């Protein structure tokens, strides 16, 4: 389904004013094969540990978007090429990372949307620490489980309800 975040913003200015449609701070770059993606949010909070990222991406994605609050860390990557392949294989629409990714030559081959702050060659540690399905705050906005995520070349939107 084609959409444009600019058109969504223009059509729903009232929801932006009410806070029901939120615009993420524009600090994210696209790294997946799909530059446009949308789906229901599954939230995850981790810090420099991607154990739970793999666990969630191993579940059926059902067109959802994994939203990872990695605390904005620029010291290691939370998503790499193998996880991009796993996300595509299991039907995830996208991955939005408040942190870094790696293996960008592999990620761009994965037919999934991937947005992150930056790239970093170092992998994360494995401590099996994280929390899922909670309200997280990243990029200046709140994201709740089940919120609708809309991402394209112009930005990332979070809506309390489906808009397209």
Q: Is 131 left (phi over 0), alpha (psi -120 to 50) or beta?
A: beta
pLDDT of residue 64: 98
Does residue 78 lie within any of the structural domains?
yes
**Cα 84 to Cα 57: distance, rounded to the nearest angstrom:** 9
In this predicted model, what pLDDT tens digit does every residue of 78-118 receive, in sequence order?
A: 999 999 999 999 999 999 999 999 999 999 999 999 999 99
Domain containing 79: what range? 5-159
Long-range residue pairs from 2-6, CB within 8 A, at least 24 positions apart, any chain:
2/36, 3/36, 3/38, 3/150, 3/152, 3/164, 4/152, 4/154, 5/150, 5/151, 5/152, 5/154, 5/155, 5/156, 5/157, 6/154
Tens of pLDDT along 5-28? 999 999 999 999 999 999 999 999
Q: What is the structure's pLDDT at 26?
A: 96
Per the domain annotation, does 146 fall within a domain? yes
* Number of domains within the chain: 1
Per-residue confidence (pLDDT) for residue 95, from 0 to 100: 98
* 28-77: pLDDT as tens digits: 999 999 999 999 999 999 999 999 999 999 999 999 999 999 999 999 99
pTM, entire model: 0.97
Question: Would 164 be classed as within a structural domain?
Answer: no
For the chain, first and last CA: distance in Å?
A: 9
Beta bridge mates, 79 = 101
CA 52 to chain centroid, in Å, comes to 14
C-alpha span between 121 and 101 (Å, rounded): 8
Is the CB of residue 96 less than 8 Å from the CB of residue 139? Answer: no
CATH number, residue 45: 3.50.30.40
pLDDT of the residue at 1: 79
């Amino acid at each position: 389904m084609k959409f444009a975040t600019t058109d969504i913003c223009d059509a729903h200015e009232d929801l932006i004013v009410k806070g029901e449609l939120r615009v993420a701070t524009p600090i994210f770059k696209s790294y997946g094969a799909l530059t446009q993606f949308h789906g229901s949010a599954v939230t995850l909070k981790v810090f420099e540990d991607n154990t739970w990222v793999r666990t969630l991406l191993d579940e059926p994605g059902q067109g959802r978007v994994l939203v990872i609050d990695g605390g904005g860390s620029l010291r290691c990557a939370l998503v790499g090429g193998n996880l991009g392949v796993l996300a595509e294989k299991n039907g995830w629409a996208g991955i939005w990372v408040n942190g870094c990714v790696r293996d960008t030559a592999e990620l761009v081959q994965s037919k999934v949307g991937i947005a992150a702050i930056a790239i970093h060659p170092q992998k994360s540690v494995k401590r099996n620490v994280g929390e899922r399905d909670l309200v997280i705050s990243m990029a200046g906005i709140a994201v709740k489980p089940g919120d609708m995520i809309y991402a394209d070349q112009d930005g990332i939107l979070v809506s309390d309800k489906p808009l397209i």
